[in-house]
Amino acid sequence: MSGQRIVVLGGGPAGLNAALGVADLGQQVLLVEPREFLGGTPVAERYASITGSFEDAETAMARLAGRLTESALAEVRLGTRAISLEGSPGDMRIGLEGPGGSEVVTCGSVIVATGFQHFDPGRETQLYGYYEYPDVLALQDLESMLKDRAVVRPSNGQPPERLCFVQCVGSRDRNIGNEYCSKVCCGVASKEAIEVREQLPNCEVFIFYIDMRMYGYWESQIYWPAQERHHVQYVKGIITEVLERNGRLLVRGEDTTMGRPMEVLMDMVVLSVGMEPSAGTREMARILGLAQNKYGFIDAPGSPLDTVTTSRPGVFAAGAALGPSDLEDCASSAGLAALRAVSVLRQSEMIGT
């Protein structure tokens, strides 16, 4: 039975961790990734650094991927996606389509780690002018600039003197339909704010927020240093619209601290976009027949005490395919998914299937 393998769909933080977990437990694992590289969204979107540790994101993801590819029990197929799934736990057949054509692979269980995509700020929140003004960006756009150490206004190539973040774009909004908190944007925006202040010491940085959600150690790793050492200005109150004014951006909102409306000029506006299920997550839910919650993420009926078991026996999920997740969540759910996936094989072994 030890020859039987587990298939992991997705090569991002959760998929890599899940596959590593399976290999560490002594089981063969096949990781399937539609992109031509490992590392997932942090690599695809060119994140500058890991929120919390400030480590270079590409380096961190390469280290994780390297550990997996060095494992004798792991096999990775890039440019490949799942197209079908049949069978029952311990005896499954998954159809794969890749550069070499399609084939059916037998496996004991499947882990879905197909992740999230950034909320498209042009979808509902037209008031922020994401597709209208070149100097209105989203978190991942700024990540990429920070990675290149080239934070400049796309409109004129000049470094900004004033930059602000607008929190909760596409999250916690009944009108948009995403009622959930995307969990990471407060930390990511604050981390980027610190990096902007480090790369452009003369640029003033503001964060307009509803409430700052800096879980656990992010408080002392990110939030307090952002305020106390880097003088990032946190202003409680959300921007209602962004307008162009003499070549700059006028943001309008309420300064709730001081209890009055405000209009402030900015050179760059960064929208702290939330998480939505990736196209891959929606597609896999459909192909594998997994129940989704009302937001499209993969449903874990046993949550919160079992965060990884899906509605289909033998299929587990990990990371942001399950809902908004930070990297710690990805590592945690990936570990649990690996354990559950391997235990399916062990149980099959015991009852002699």
Partner 1 sequence: MPAPTATADLKVGDVAGYADIAFEEKQRIVSLVIDDPRFTDYLYGCYECGICVAACPSARFYDFSPRRIAQALARRDVRLVYQQIQEDIWECSQCFSCLRCPRGNNPGGLVTIMREVAVNNGLASAREALEGYSRIIYKIMSTGTQVSPDMLQPDAFPDWGPEVKDVSDNLALWRRALPPETLHTVSTGWDVSDQTLIELYLIWFETGALNMIGEVDKGLHMILEEVMQDRLEEAGIEI
The footprint of partner 1 (CB under 8 A) covers 161-162, 201, 204, 212, 223-224, 226-228, 231, 233-236, 255, 257-258, 260, 262, 264-265
CA atoms of 123 and 200, how far apart (whole Å): 31
Q: Give SS3 for 94.
A: strand
As measured in angstroms, the least distance from the Cβ of 244 to partner 1 is 18
User: Smaller CB distance to partner 1: residue 119 or 165?
Assistant: 165
CA atoms of 87 and 106, how far apart (whole Å): 9
As measured in angstroms, the least distance from the Cβ of 345 to partner 1 is 48
User: Smaller CB distance to partner 1: residue 44 or 243?
Assistant: 243
The 204-209 sheet, strands edge to edge: 136-138, 268-273, 162-169, 204-209, 233-236
User: Smaller CB distance to partner 1: residue 213 or 282?
Assistant: 213
As measured in angstroms, the least distance from the Cβ of 160 to partner 1 is 12
Which pair of tokens denotes residue 33?
A: 């990734």
As measured in angstroms, the least distance from the Cβ of 2 to partner 1 is 53
As measured in angstroms, the least distance from the Cβ of 261 to partner 1 is 10
The total number of residues shown for the chain amounts to: 353
Q: At what angle do helices 13-24 and 327-350 cross, to 10 degrees?
A: 40
Task: Give the strand pairing for 162-169 and 204-209.
Answer: parallel
Greatest alpha-carbon span in the chain: 75
User: Smaller CB distance to partner 1: residue 104 or 258?
Assistant: 258
User: Smaller CB distance to partner 1: residue 148 or 263?
Assistant: 263
The three-state DSSP-derived secondary structure of 165-230 is: EEEEECCCECCCCECCCCCCHHHHHHHHHHHHHHHCCCCEEEEEECCCCCCCCHHHHHHHHHHHCC
As measured in angstroms, the least distance from the Cβ of 198 to partner 1 is 13
User: Smaller CB distance to partner 1: residue 162 or 282?
Assistant: 162
CA distances from 176 to 125, 169, 322 (A): 8, 10, 20
User: Smaller CB distance to partner 1: residue 147 or 252?
Assistant: 252
As measured in angstroms, the least distance from the Cβ of 126 to partner 1 is 25
As measured in angstroms, the least distance from the Cβ of 231 to partner 1 is 6
As measured in angstroms, the least distance from the Cβ of 217 to partner 1 is 16
> Contact at 8 Å (CB) between 220 and 228?
no
> CA triplet 19, 22, 34: central angle to 5 degrees?
25
User: Smaller CB distance to partner 1: residue 197 or 282?
Assistant: 197
Whether the ω angle into residue 261 lies within 30 degrees of 0, i.e. cis, is: no
Q: Which residue has the tokens 């109150």?
A: 237
User: Smaller CB distance to partner 1: residue 78 or 264?
Assistant: 264
